[in-house]
Structure 1
Amino acid sequence: MSPTVQCAYIGLGAMGNAMAGHIAQKLSSLGCPPLLAFNRTQARAEALAQTHPVTVASSLDQVATANIIFSCLLNDAAVIETLDILIPLLKTDTILVEQSTISPALAQKYAAKAKEAGVVYLACPVMGPPIKAKSGDLTVLMAGGESAEIRGKVLPLLIPVVGKKVIELGLQDVAESLRLKLCGNYFVTSVVEMVAEGMTLGEASGVGQDKVRELLDAVFPNSLMGVYADRMLKNTYKDEIAFPITTAKKDVAHIVQLAKDSGAKLPITEAFLKNADEVLENHGNYDLSSVVGNLRVQAGLHFDLAEKK
Protein backbone atom coordinates (compact mmCIF):
# COMPACT_ATOMS: atom_id res chain seq x y z
CA MET A 1 0.00 0.00 0.00
CA SER A 2 1.26 3.44 -0.92
CA PRO A 3 2.34 5.48 2.12
CA THR A 4 0.35 8.41 0.70
CA VAL A 5 -3.02 6.64 0.95
CA GLN A 6 -5.41 8.43 3.29
CA CYS A 7 -8.04 6.31 5.04
CA ALA A 8 -11.05 7.31 7.14
CA TYR A 9 -13.52 5.58 9.43
CA ILE A 10 -17.14 6.64 10.06
CA GLY A 11 -19.04 5.29 13.05
CA LEU A 12 -17.36 4.59 16.36
CA GLY A 13 -19.87 2.42 18.21
CA ALA A 14 -18.85 -0.76 20.01
CA MET A 15 -17.86 -2.47 16.76
CA GLY A 16 -16.61 0.49 14.75
CA ASN A 17 -14.45 1.85 17.54
CA ALA A 18 -12.54 -1.42 17.85
CA MET A 19 -12.15 -1.91 14.09
CA ALA A 20 -11.06 1.70 13.57
CA GLY A 21 -8.43 1.29 16.28
CA HIS A 22 -6.97 -1.81 14.63
CA ILE A 23 -6.94 -0.16 11.20
CA ALA A 24 -5.28 2.96 12.64
CA GLN A 25 -2.47 0.85 14.11
CA LYS A 26 -1.99 -0.97 10.80
CA LEU A 27 -1.80 2.29 8.84
CA SER A 28 0.75 3.61 11.31
CA SER A 29 2.90 0.51 10.84
CA LEU A 30 2.81 1.09 7.07
CA GLY A 31 3.89 4.71 7.37
CA CYS A 32 0.54 6.00 6.07
CA PRO A 33 -1.15 9.21 7.24
CA PRO A 34 -3.15 8.85 10.46
CA LEU A 35 -6.67 7.46 10.09
CA LEU A 36 -9.37 10.13 9.92
CA ALA A 37 -11.99 9.18 12.53
CA PHE A 38 -15.51 10.59 12.37
CA ASN A 39 -18.48 10.07 14.63
CA ARG A 40 -21.67 12.05 15.01
CA THR A 41 -20.77 12.40 18.70
CA GLN A 42 -17.28 13.83 18.25
CA ALA A 43 -16.25 12.93 21.80
CA ARG A 44 -15.93 9.30 20.72
CA ALA A 45 -13.46 10.22 18.00
CA GLU A 46 -11.54 12.36 20.46
CA ALA A 47 -11.41 9.48 22.94
CA LEU A 48 -10.04 7.15 20.23
CA ALA A 49 -7.38 9.73 19.38
CA GLN A 50 -6.14 9.54 22.97
CA THR A 51 -5.17 5.89 22.53
CA HIS A 52 -4.59 5.36 18.80
CA PRO A 53 -2.84 7.18 15.93
CA VAL A 54 -5.90 8.90 14.47
CA THR A 55 -6.89 12.39 13.42
CA VAL A 56 -10.35 13.54 14.48
CA ALA A 57 -12.44 14.54 11.45
CA SER A 58 -14.90 17.32 12.26
CA SER A 59 -17.10 16.87 9.18
CA LEU A 60 -17.99 14.53 6.33
CA ASP A 61 -16.34 17.04 3.99
CA GLN A 62 -13.04 16.26 5.72
CA VAL A 63 -13.75 12.50 5.54
CA ALA A 64 -14.34 12.88 1.80
CA THR A 65 -10.67 13.76 1.27
CA ALA A 66 -9.73 10.13 2.01
CA ASN A 67 -8.97 7.49 -0.62
CA ILE A 68 -10.46 4.58 1.34
CA ILE A 69 -13.41 5.17 3.66
CA PHE A 70 -14.78 2.58 6.10
CA SER A 71 -18.24 2.93 7.59
CA CYS A 72 -19.95 1.03 10.41
CA LEU A 73 -23.29 2.56 11.40
CA LEU A 74 -26.20 1.46 13.57
CA ASN A 75 -28.96 0.84 11.05
CA ASP A 76 -30.41 1.59 7.62
CA ALA A 77 -31.56 5.07 8.64
CA ALA A 78 -28.08 6.07 9.81
CA VAL A 79 -26.52 4.76 6.58
CA ILE A 80 -29.03 6.66 4.45
CA GLU A 81 -28.47 9.87 6.42
CA THR A 82 -24.69 9.57 6.08
CA LEU A 83 -24.24 8.30 2.53
CA ASP A 84 -26.73 10.73 1.01
CA ILE A 85 -24.39 13.49 2.18
CA LEU A 86 -21.07 11.71 1.69
CA ILE A 87 -21.25 10.14 -1.77
CA PRO A 88 -21.66 13.43 -3.69
CA LEU A 89 -18.56 14.75 -1.90
CA LEU A 90 -16.28 11.86 -2.81
CA LYS A 91 -13.45 11.94 -5.31
CA THR A 92 -13.49 9.65 -8.34
CA ASP A 93 -12.07 6.19 -7.54
CA THR A 94 -12.61 6.54 -3.80
CA ILE A 95 -13.23 3.12 -2.24
CA LEU A 96 -16.18 3.03 0.15
CA VAL A 97 -16.10 0.01 2.48
CA GLU A 98 -19.54 -0.33 4.10
CA GLN A 99 -19.44 -2.57 7.19
CA SER A 100 -22.90 -1.82 8.57
CA THR A 101 -25.54 -4.55 8.81
CA ILE A 102 -28.20 -3.16 6.48
CA SER A 103 -30.80 -4.60 4.15
CA PRO A 104 -29.44 -6.21 0.98
CA ALA A 105 -31.63 -3.91 -1.11
CA LEU A 106 -30.17 -0.80 0.53
CA ALA A 107 -26.64 -2.01 -0.16
CA GLN A 108 -27.53 -2.44 -3.84
CA LYS A 109 -29.06 1.04 -3.93
CA TYR A 110 -25.94 2.74 -2.60
CA ALA A 111 -23.61 0.62 -4.71
CA ALA A 112 -25.47 1.96 -7.74
CA LYS A 113 -25.27 5.55 -6.44
CA ALA A 114 -21.57 5.13 -5.76
CA LYS A 115 -20.95 3.81 -9.27
CA GLU A 116 -22.75 6.81 -10.79
CA ALA A 117 -20.40 9.04 -8.79
CA GLY A 118 -17.30 7.14 -9.96
CA VAL A 119 -16.84 5.58 -6.52
CA VAL A 120 -16.18 1.89 -5.77
CA TYR A 121 -18.49 0.28 -3.17
CA LEU A 122 -17.54 -2.77 -1.14
CA ALA A 123 -20.03 -4.39 1.24
CA CYS A 124 -17.99 -5.86 4.10
CA PRO A 125 -20.19 -6.66 7.12
CA VAL A 126 -18.55 -8.68 9.86
CA MET A 127 -19.57 -11.61 12.04
CA GLY A 128 -18.69 -11.54 15.71
CA PRO A 129 -19.56 -9.69 18.94
CA PRO A 130 -17.77 -6.58 20.30
CA ILE A 131 -15.36 -8.73 22.33
CA LYS A 132 -14.19 -10.35 19.06
CA ALA A 133 -13.87 -6.92 17.47
CA LYS A 134 -11.57 -5.84 20.30
CA SER A 135 -9.36 -8.90 19.84
CA GLY A 136 -9.30 -8.59 16.03
CA ASP A 137 -10.96 -11.96 15.59
CA LEU A 138 -13.96 -11.13 13.40
CA THR A 139 -15.01 -12.84 10.18
CA VAL A 140 -15.25 -10.43 7.24
CA LEU A 141 -17.84 -11.00 4.52
CA MET A 142 -16.83 -9.24 1.31
CA ALA A 143 -18.92 -8.57 -1.80
CA GLY A 144 -18.62 -6.03 -4.60
CA GLY A 145 -15.56 -4.04 -5.53
CA GLU A 146 -15.76 -4.97 -9.20
CA SER A 147 -12.20 -6.34 -9.39
CA ALA A 148 -9.63 -8.36 -7.46
CA GLU A 149 -7.27 -5.40 -7.79
CA ILE A 150 -9.65 -3.14 -5.84
CA ARG A 151 -10.11 -5.77 -3.17
CA GLY A 152 -6.36 -6.12 -2.94
CA LYS A 153 -6.13 -2.50 -1.80
CA VAL A 154 -8.58 -3.07 1.06
CA LEU A 155 -7.90 -6.61 2.26
CA PRO A 156 -4.54 -5.78 3.93
CA LEU A 157 -6.45 -3.35 6.18
CA LEU A 158 -8.95 -6.02 7.18
CA ILE A 159 -7.07 -9.32 7.36
CA PRO A 160 -5.41 -10.04 9.75
CA VAL A 161 -6.27 -6.64 11.20
CA VAL A 162 -9.94 -6.64 12.21
CA GLY A 163 -10.32 -10.36 11.58
CA LYS A 164 -8.50 -13.55 10.72
CA LYS A 165 -10.88 -14.85 8.07
CA VAL A 166 -12.54 -13.34 5.00
CA ILE A 167 -15.31 -14.99 3.00
CA GLU A 168 -15.20 -13.50 -0.48
CA LEU A 169 -18.42 -13.35 -2.48
CA GLY A 170 -19.28 -11.98 -5.92
CA LEU A 171 -17.53 -8.95 -7.40
CA GLN A 172 -20.73 -7.40 -8.74
CA ASP A 173 -23.65 -8.08 -6.37
CA VAL A 174 -22.87 -6.31 -3.09
CA ALA A 175 -26.03 -7.76 -1.56
CA GLU A 176 -24.47 -11.22 -1.38
CA SER A 177 -22.45 -10.37 1.72
CA LEU A 178 -25.51 -8.89 3.45
CA ARG A 179 -27.55 -12.00 2.68
CA LEU A 180 -24.80 -14.16 4.15
CA LYS A 181 -24.58 -11.87 7.20
CA LEU A 182 -28.30 -12.32 7.77
CA CYS A 183 -27.87 -16.10 7.56
CA GLY A 184 -25.19 -15.74 10.23
CA ASN A 185 -27.43 -13.62 12.44
CA TYR A 186 -30.18 -16.19 11.96
CA PHE A 187 -27.89 -18.78 13.54
CA VAL A 188 -27.07 -16.46 16.46
CA THR A 189 -30.68 -15.70 17.33
CA SER A 190 -31.69 -19.32 16.79
CA VAL A 191 -28.94 -20.56 19.13
CA VAL A 192 -30.16 -18.09 21.76
CA GLU A 193 -33.75 -19.33 21.42
CA MET A 194 -32.69 -22.99 21.48
CA VAL A 195 -30.46 -22.61 24.53
CA ALA A 196 -33.11 -20.57 26.35
CA GLU A 197 -35.67 -23.31 25.74
CA GLY A 198 -33.24 -26.02 26.86
CA MET A 199 -32.18 -24.17 30.00
CA THR A 200 -35.82 -23.57 30.91
CA LEU A 201 -36.69 -27.21 30.26
CA GLY A 202 -33.90 -28.34 32.57
CA GLU A 203 -34.98 -26.02 35.37
CA ALA A 204 -38.71 -26.66 35.03
CA SER A 205 -38.23 -30.44 34.96
CA GLY A 206 -36.15 -30.42 38.14
CA VAL A 207 -32.78 -31.22 36.56
CA GLY A 208 -31.55 -27.68 37.10
CA GLN A 209 -30.26 -25.16 34.57
CA ASP A 210 -26.79 -25.44 36.09
CA LYS A 211 -26.66 -29.08 34.99
CA VAL A 212 -27.83 -28.15 31.50
CA ARG A 213 -24.96 -25.65 31.35
CA GLU A 214 -22.53 -28.37 32.48
CA LEU A 215 -23.89 -30.73 29.82
CA LEU A 216 -23.40 -28.15 27.08
CA ASP A 217 -19.79 -27.65 28.16
CA ALA A 218 -19.16 -31.40 28.02
CA VAL A 219 -20.89 -32.15 24.71
CA PHE A 220 -20.36 -28.85 22.86
CA PRO A 221 -17.17 -27.36 24.38
CA ASN A 222 -16.11 -23.80 23.51
CA SER A 223 -19.30 -23.13 21.57
CA LEU A 224 -21.70 -20.22 21.25
CA MET A 225 -24.24 -22.31 23.13
CA GLY A 226 -22.04 -22.27 26.21
CA VAL A 227 -21.54 -18.51 25.99
CA TYR A 228 -25.27 -17.81 26.00
CA ALA A 229 -26.06 -20.52 28.54
CA ASP A 230 -23.58 -18.87 30.90
CA ARG A 231 -25.31 -15.49 30.54
CA MET A 232 -28.67 -17.12 31.23
CA LEU A 233 -27.38 -19.07 34.22
CA LYS A 234 -25.78 -16.00 35.80
CA ASN A 235 -28.58 -13.61 34.79
CA THR A 236 -26.07 -11.11 33.39
CA TYR A 237 -28.41 -10.00 30.61
CA LYS A 238 -29.57 -6.92 32.56
CA ASP A 239 -26.16 -5.45 33.32
CA GLU A 240 -23.86 -6.82 30.60
CA ILE A 241 -25.63 -5.99 27.35
CA ALA A 242 -23.52 -7.17 24.43
CA PHE A 243 -26.35 -7.37 21.88
CA PRO A 244 -29.45 -5.40 22.96
CA ILE A 245 -32.88 -6.65 22.00
CA THR A 246 -33.63 -3.59 19.88
CA THR A 247 -30.54 -4.21 17.77
CA ALA A 248 -31.39 -7.90 17.49
CA LYS A 249 -34.92 -7.00 16.39
CA LYS A 250 -33.49 -4.73 13.69
CA ASP A 251 -31.45 -7.60 12.31
CA VAL A 252 -34.35 -10.05 12.68
CA ALA A 253 -36.56 -7.73 10.62
CA HIS A 254 -34.00 -8.01 7.79
CA ILE A 255 -33.87 -11.80 8.26
CA VAL A 256 -37.65 -12.08 8.08
CA GLN A 257 -37.74 -9.95 4.92
CA LEU A 258 -35.00 -12.05 3.32
CA ALA A 259 -36.96 -15.21 4.14
CA LYS A 260 -40.12 -13.70 2.68
CA ASP A 261 -38.31 -12.69 -0.51
CA SER A 262 -36.75 -16.16 -0.77
CA GLY A 263 -39.84 -18.22 0.10
CA ALA A 264 -38.18 -19.68 3.21
CA LYS A 265 -39.89 -20.47 6.52
CA LEU A 266 -38.17 -19.61 9.82
CA PRO A 267 -40.24 -20.90 12.76
CA ILE A 268 -37.34 -20.56 15.22
CA THR A 269 -37.00 -16.90 14.29
CA GLU A 270 -40.70 -16.37 14.88
CA ALA A 271 -40.41 -17.91 18.37
CA PHE A 272 -37.36 -15.79 19.20
CA LEU A 273 -39.08 -12.61 18.02
CA LYS A 274 -42.17 -13.31 20.13
CA ASN A 275 -40.08 -13.81 23.26
CA ALA A 276 -37.92 -10.78 22.50
CA ASP A 277 -40.96 -8.57 21.99
CA GLU A 278 -42.44 -9.62 25.33
CA VAL A 279 -39.20 -9.05 27.23
CA LEU A 280 -38.79 -5.63 25.65
CA GLU A 281 -42.38 -4.66 26.48
CA ASN A 282 -42.47 -6.00 30.04
CA HIS A 283 -38.89 -5.63 31.28
CA GLY A 284 -36.60 -3.51 29.11
CA ASN A 285 -33.96 -3.45 26.42
CA TYR A 286 -31.77 -6.17 27.89
CA ASP A 287 -29.24 -8.40 26.12
CA LEU A 288 -30.91 -10.80 23.69
CA SER A 289 -30.08 -13.71 26.03
CA SER A 290 -32.84 -12.37 28.30
CA VAL A 291 -35.44 -14.17 26.15
CA VAL A 292 -34.85 -17.02 28.60
CA GLY A 293 -36.75 -14.99 31.19
CA ASN A 294 -39.90 -14.99 29.12
CA LEU A 295 -39.68 -18.75 28.67
CA ARG A 296 -39.16 -19.19 32.42
CA VAL A 297 -42.30 -17.18 33.15
CA GLN A 298 -44.28 -19.30 30.71
CA ALA A 299 -43.06 -22.39 32.61
CA GLY A 300 -44.25 -20.97 35.94
CA LEU A 301 -40.80 -19.83 37.07
CA HIS A 302 -39.52 -16.37 38.01
CA PHE A 303 -38.11 -14.23 35.19
CA ASP A 304 -34.57 -14.27 36.59
CA LEU A 305 -34.95 -17.32 38.88
CA ALA A 306 -34.33 -15.17 41.95
CA GLU A 307 -37.37 -16.95 43.36
CA LYS A 308 -39.90 -19.53 42.26
CA LYS A 309 -43.45 -18.55 41.41
Structure 2
Amino acid sequence: MAPPAVTASGPSAAVPSGRPRSAPRLRAPRRRHSADRPRRSVLLTLLTSLVLLYSLVPLVWLAFSATKTQEGLSRSFGLWFDGDFALWDNIGRTFTYDDGVFTRWLLNTVLYVGLGAGGATFLAVLGGYALAKFDFPGRRAVFAVVIGAVAVPGTALAVPTFLMFSRMGLTNTPWAVIVPSLVSPFGLYLMWVFATEAVPAELMEAARIDGAGEVRTFFTVALPLLAPGIVTVLLFTMVATWNNYFLPLVMLKDPDWYPLTLGLGSWNAQAATAGGEAVFNLVVTGSLLTIVPLIAAFLLLQKYWRSGLAAGSVKE
Protein backbone atom coordinates (compact mmCIF):
# COMPACT_ATOMS: atom_id res chain seq x y z
CA MET A 1 0.00 0.00 0.00
CA ALA A 2 1.48 3.39 -1.06
CA PRO A 3 2.33 5.88 1.70
CA PRO A 4 0.11 8.96 1.95
CA ALA A 5 1.23 12.02 0.01
CA VAL A 6 2.78 14.86 1.91
CA THR A 7 1.11 18.22 1.36
CA ALA A 8 3.23 21.36 1.51
CA SER A 9 1.57 23.94 3.72
CA GLY A 10 4.25 26.54 4.47
CA PRO A 11 7.94 27.16 4.98
CA SER A 12 8.19 24.27 7.49
CA ALA A 13 6.53 21.67 5.22
CA ALA A 14 8.45 18.55 4.27
CA VAL A 15 10.36 18.52 0.98
CA PRO A 16 11.47 15.50 -1.04
CA SER A 17 14.87 14.12 -0.08
CA GLY A 18 17.71 15.09 -2.30
CA ARG A 19 16.37 18.53 -3.15
CA PRO A 20 17.83 21.56 -1.40
CA ARG A 21 15.43 23.52 0.77
CA SER A 22 14.72 26.82 -0.93
CA ALA A 23 15.31 29.98 1.09
CA PRO A 24 12.17 31.81 2.20
CA ARG A 25 11.15 34.49 -0.20
CA LEU A 26 11.53 37.94 1.27
CA ARG A 27 8.90 40.54 0.71
CA ALA A 28 10.11 43.27 -1.57
CA PRO A 29 10.17 46.67 0.08
CA ARG A 30 7.32 48.88 -0.89
CA ARG A 31 8.27 51.69 -3.16
CA ARG A 32 7.32 55.11 -1.97
CA HIS A 33 5.43 57.06 -4.49
CA SER A 34 5.87 60.76 -4.84
CA ALA A 35 2.38 61.24 -3.41
CA ASP A 36 3.47 59.60 -0.12
CA ARG A 37 6.30 62.06 0.50
CA PRO A 38 5.56 65.13 2.61
CA ARG A 39 5.11 68.16 0.48
CA ARG A 40 7.03 71.32 1.14
CA SER A 41 4.70 74.22 1.64
CA VAL A 42 6.19 77.57 0.77
CA LEU A 43 3.36 79.38 2.54
CA LEU A 44 3.82 77.36 5.75
CA THR A 45 7.58 77.97 5.68
CA LEU A 46 6.99 81.69 5.24
CA LEU A 47 4.51 81.85 8.11
CA THR A 48 6.85 79.87 10.37
CA SER A 49 9.71 82.23 9.54
CA LEU A 50 7.55 85.24 10.38
CA VAL A 51 6.58 83.73 13.75
CA LEU A 52 10.25 82.96 14.44
CA LEU A 53 11.24 86.55 13.67
CA TYR A 54 8.39 87.88 15.79
CA SER A 55 9.63 85.78 18.72
CA LEU A 56 13.37 86.31 18.40
CA VAL A 57 13.69 89.97 17.35
CA PRO A 58 12.59 91.36 20.76
CA LEU A 59 15.07 89.07 22.53
CA VAL A 60 17.87 90.11 20.18
CA TRP A 61 17.01 93.78 20.70
CA LEU A 62 17.00 93.24 24.47
CA ALA A 63 20.39 91.54 24.40
CA PHE A 64 21.98 94.31 22.31
CA SER A 65 20.35 97.14 24.27
CA ALA A 66 21.57 95.76 27.60
CA THR A 67 25.14 96.43 26.45
CA LYS A 68 24.55 100.18 25.94
CA THR A 69 24.65 103.21 28.17
CA GLN A 70 21.72 105.57 28.67
CA GLU A 71 23.01 107.80 25.86
CA GLY A 72 23.88 104.85 23.64
CA LEU A 73 20.27 103.68 23.56
CA SER A 74 19.23 106.79 21.65
CA ARG A 75 22.21 107.25 19.36
CA SER A 76 22.72 103.71 18.05
CA PHE A 77 20.81 101.16 15.99
CA GLY A 78 18.66 98.90 18.14
CA LEU A 79 19.86 95.60 16.68
CA TRP A 80 23.60 96.24 16.97
CA PHE A 81 26.20 97.26 19.52
CA ASP A 82 27.15 100.79 20.47
CA GLY A 83 30.70 102.07 20.75
CA ASP A 84 30.73 101.64 24.53
CA PHE A 85 30.18 98.07 25.77
CA ALA A 86 28.54 98.67 29.16
CA LEU A 87 26.87 95.34 29.93
CA TRP A 88 28.84 94.58 33.09
CA ASP A 89 28.53 98.12 34.32
CA ASN A 90 24.76 98.05 33.72
CA ILE A 91 24.43 94.78 35.63
CA GLY A 92 26.37 96.20 38.57
CA ARG A 93 24.31 99.41 38.62
CA THR A 94 21.06 97.43 38.36
CA PHE A 95 21.84 95.58 41.59
CA THR A 96 23.06 98.68 43.43
CA TYR A 97 20.66 101.37 42.18
CA ASP A 98 18.19 102.74 44.75
CA ASP A 99 19.90 100.93 47.65
CA GLY A 100 19.82 97.57 45.86
CA VAL A 101 16.04 97.32 45.66
CA PHE A 102 16.34 95.12 42.55
CA THR A 103 17.65 92.28 44.72
CA ARG A 104 14.63 92.67 47.01
CA TRP A 105 12.30 92.52 44.01
CA LEU A 106 14.08 89.41 42.75
CA LEU A 107 13.70 87.68 46.12
CA ASN A 108 10.03 88.68 46.25
CA THR A 109 9.48 87.15 42.82
CA VAL A 110 11.20 83.93 43.89
CA LEU A 111 8.98 83.86 46.98
CA TYR A 112 5.80 84.34 44.94
CA VAL A 113 6.85 81.70 42.42
CA GLY A 114 8.00 79.21 45.03
CA LEU A 115 4.87 79.36 47.18
CA GLY A 116 2.33 80.38 44.54
CA ALA A 117 3.39 78.30 41.55
CA GLY A 118 4.61 75.41 43.69
CA GLY A 119 1.39 75.35 45.69
CA ALA A 120 -0.75 75.65 42.56
CA THR A 121 1.07 72.70 41.00
CA PHE A 122 0.64 70.56 44.13
CA LEU A 123 -3.08 71.34 44.36
CA ALA A 124 -3.53 70.71 40.63
CA VAL A 125 -1.84 67.31 40.96
CA LEU A 126 -4.03 66.29 43.89
CA GLY A 127 -7.24 67.55 42.29
CA GLY A 128 -6.49 66.16 38.83
CA TYR A 129 -5.61 62.74 40.22
CA ALA A 130 -8.77 62.61 42.33
CA LEU A 131 -11.01 63.68 39.45
CA ALA A 132 -9.40 61.19 37.07
CA LYS A 133 -9.31 58.10 39.28
CA PHE A 134 -12.23 58.40 41.71
CA ASP A 135 -15.93 58.48 41.02
CA PHE A 136 -18.02 60.62 43.37
CA PRO A 137 -21.28 62.60 43.24
CA GLY A 138 -20.93 66.00 41.57
CA ARG A 139 -17.98 65.01 39.39
CA ARG A 140 -19.65 66.33 36.24
CA ALA A 141 -20.46 69.61 37.98
CA VAL A 142 -16.82 69.99 38.98
CA PHE A 143 -15.81 69.39 35.38
CA ALA A 144 -18.16 72.15 34.21
CA VAL A 145 -16.83 74.56 36.83
CA VAL A 146 -13.21 73.85 35.85
CA ILE A 147 -13.90 74.36 32.15
CA GLY A 148 -15.74 77.60 32.91
CA ALA A 149 -12.91 78.83 35.12
CA VAL A 150 -10.37 78.21 32.34
CA ALA A 151 -12.35 80.54 30.07
CA VAL A 152 -12.35 83.42 32.59
CA PRO A 153 -9.30 85.73 32.28
CA GLY A 154 -7.41 86.51 35.45
CA THR A 155 -7.72 90.27 34.95
CA ALA A 156 -11.50 89.99 35.24
CA LEU A 157 -11.11 88.58 38.76
CA ALA A 158 -8.50 91.07 39.99
CA VAL A 159 -10.93 93.72 41.26
CA PRO A 160 -13.31 91.27 43.04
CA THR A 161 -10.27 89.59 44.57
CA PHE A 162 -8.97 92.96 45.77
CA LEU A 163 -12.31 93.78 47.43
CA MET A 164 -12.37 90.41 49.16
CA PHE A 165 -8.79 90.67 50.40
CA SER A 166 -9.26 94.27 51.55
CA ARG A 167 -12.11 93.13 53.81
CA MET A 168 -9.79 90.49 55.28
CA GLY A 169 -6.98 93.03 55.72
CA LEU A 170 -4.53 91.14 53.49
CA THR A 171 -3.88 93.78 50.85
CA ASN A 172 -0.34 95.17 50.60
CA THR A 173 1.00 91.87 51.95
CA PRO A 174 2.66 88.94 50.14
CA TRP A 175 -0.43 86.78 50.77
CA ALA A 176 -2.43 89.02 48.45
CA VAL A 177 -0.26 87.72 45.58
CA ILE A 178 0.44 84.18 46.81
CA VAL A 179 -3.08 83.02 47.67
CA PRO A 180 -4.71 83.90 44.29
CA SER A 181 -1.76 82.26 42.54
CA LEU A 182 -2.61 78.95 44.22
CA VAL A 183 -5.66 78.56 41.97
CA SER A 184 -4.82 77.28 38.49
CA PRO A 185 -7.89 75.96 36.62
CA PHE A 186 -5.85 75.20 33.51
CA GLY A 187 -3.28 73.27 35.55
CA LEU A 188 -6.06 71.27 37.22
CA TYR A 189 -7.62 70.43 33.86
CA LEU A 190 -4.24 69.47 32.39
CA MET A 191 -3.45 67.13 35.29
CA TRP A 192 -6.96 65.66 35.07
CA VAL A 193 -6.44 64.73 31.41
CA PHE A 194 -2.89 63.51 31.99
CA ALA A 195 -3.69 61.35 35.02
CA THR A 196 -6.54 59.66 33.14
CA GLU A 197 -4.08 58.12 30.66
CA ALA A 198 -0.82 58.01 32.64
CA VAL A 199 -1.93 55.98 35.67
CA PRO A 200 -3.41 52.56 34.77
CA ALA A 201 -6.28 51.41 36.96
CA GLU A 202 -4.78 47.88 37.06
CA LEU A 203 -1.62 49.20 38.67
CA MET A 204 -3.63 50.94 41.37
CA GLU A 205 -5.64 47.79 42.03
CA ALA A 206 -2.43 45.77 42.36
CA ALA A 207 -1.11 48.24 44.94
CA ARG A 208 -4.34 48.05 46.91
CA ILE A 209 -4.27 44.24 46.85
CA ASP A 210 -0.73 44.38 48.26
CA GLY A 211 -2.09 46.38 51.19
CA ALA A 212 -1.17 49.92 50.20
CA GLY A 213 -3.55 52.67 51.25
CA GLU A 214 -4.72 55.48 49.01
CA VAL A 215 -2.05 57.91 50.25
CA ARG A 216 0.74 55.40 49.78
CA THR A 217 -0.60 54.41 46.37
CA PHE A 218 -0.58 58.04 45.28
CA PHE A 219 2.94 58.86 46.45
CA THR A 220 4.67 55.59 45.52
CA VAL A 221 2.78 54.47 42.41
CA ALA A 222 0.94 57.38 40.80
CA LEU A 223 3.32 60.27 41.52
CA PRO A 224 6.31 58.89 39.56
CA LEU A 225 4.04 58.25 36.57
CA LEU A 226 2.72 61.81 36.77
CA ALA A 227 6.19 63.40 36.66
CA PRO A 228 5.97 64.70 33.03
CA GLY A 229 2.58 66.27 33.68
CA ILE A 230 3.76 67.78 36.96
CA VAL A 231 6.71 69.44 35.24
CA THR A 232 4.45 70.76 32.49
CA VAL A 233 2.00 72.30 34.95
CA LEU A 234 4.90 73.68 37.01
CA LEU A 235 6.32 75.45 33.95
CA PHE A 236 2.98 77.02 33.06
CA THR A 237 2.23 78.20 36.59
CA MET A 238 5.82 79.40 37.12
CA VAL A 239 5.77 81.53 33.96
CA ALA A 240 2.32 82.92 34.81
CA THR A 241 3.40 83.88 38.35
CA TRP A 242 6.82 85.20 37.29
CA ASN A 243 5.28 87.48 34.63
CA ASN A 244 2.26 88.49 36.70
CA TYR A 245 1.85 92.26 36.60
CA PHE A 246 -1.77 93.26 37.02
CA LEU A 247 -2.50 91.39 40.26
CA PRO A 248 0.50 92.86 42.17
CA LEU A 249 -0.35 96.28 40.72
CA VAL A 250 -3.82 96.07 42.26
CA MET A 251 -2.81 94.43 45.54
CA LEU A 252 0.48 96.10 46.48
CA LYS A 253 1.47 99.70 47.15
CA ASP A 254 4.64 99.16 49.18
CA PRO A 255 7.67 99.01 46.80
CA ASP A 256 9.41 96.63 49.20
CA TRP A 257 6.90 93.91 48.23
CA TYR A 258 6.99 94.55 44.48
CA PRO A 259 7.89 91.68 42.13
CA LEU A 260 10.32 92.28 39.28
CA THR A 261 7.62 93.14 36.76
CA LEU A 262 6.11 95.87 38.90
CA GLY A 263 9.47 97.17 40.09
CA LEU A 264 10.90 97.56 36.60
CA GLY A 265 7.66 99.26 35.58
CA SER A 266 8.14 101.81 38.34
CA TRP A 267 11.72 102.47 37.17
CA ASN A 268 10.47 102.97 33.64
CA ALA A 269 7.73 105.37 34.77
CA GLN A 270 9.92 107.56 36.95
CA ALA A 271 11.35 109.28 33.87
CA ALA A 272 7.94 110.84 33.25
CA THR A 273 7.65 112.26 36.78
CA ALA A 274 8.88 115.69 37.82
CA GLY A 275 12.52 115.45 38.77
CA GLY A 276 12.63 111.74 38.02
CA GLU A 277 15.80 110.15 36.68
CA ALA A 278 15.68 108.27 33.37
CA VAL A 279 17.29 104.85 33.83
CA PHE A 280 16.14 103.08 30.69
CA ASN A 281 19.46 101.24 30.43
CA LEU A 282 18.84 99.74 33.87
CA VAL A 283 15.27 98.84 32.93
CA VAL A 284 16.51 97.01 29.83
CA THR A 285 19.28 95.25 31.74
CA GLY A 286 16.87 94.27 34.50
CA SER A 287 14.47 92.88 31.91
CA LEU A 288 17.25 90.77 30.45
CA LEU A 289 18.14 89.44 33.89
CA THR A 290 14.47 88.70 34.52
CA ILE A 291 14.04 86.34 31.57
CA VAL A 292 17.27 84.41 32.15
CA PRO A 293 15.77 82.12 34.87
CA LEU A 294 12.76 81.35 32.68
CA ILE A 295 14.95 80.42 29.71
CA ALA A 296 17.11 78.23 31.95
CA ALA A 297 14.03 76.47 33.37
CA PHE A 298 12.65 75.74 29.91
CA LEU A 299 15.98 74.40 28.66
CA LEU A 300 16.50 72.17 31.70
CA LEU A 301 12.93 70.80 31.76
CA GLN A 302 12.29 70.72 28.02
CA LYS A 303 12.16 66.94 27.67
CA TYR A 304 9.61 66.59 30.48
CA TRP A 305 7.60 69.49 29.07
CA ARG A 306 7.38 68.01 25.57
CA SER A 307 6.47 64.53 26.81
CA GLY A 308 3.85 66.03 29.11
CA LEU A 309 2.17 67.90 26.27
CA ALA A 310 2.08 64.78 24.07
CA ALA A 311 0.67 62.50 26.75
CA GLY A 312 -2.74 61.14 25.88
CA SER A 313 -2.57 62.28 22.26
CA VAL A 314 -2.41 58.70 20.97
CA LYS A 315 -4.80 56.05 22.27
CA GLU A 316 -3.78 52.45 21.78
TM-score bucket (shorter structure): under 0.3
- TM-score, scaled to structure 1: 0.22
Ranked by relative contact order (alpha carbons within 8 Å, sequence separation 6 or more), the top structure is 2
Higher-strand-fraction structure:
1
Higher-helix-fraction structure:
2
- TM-score, scaled to structure 2: 0.22
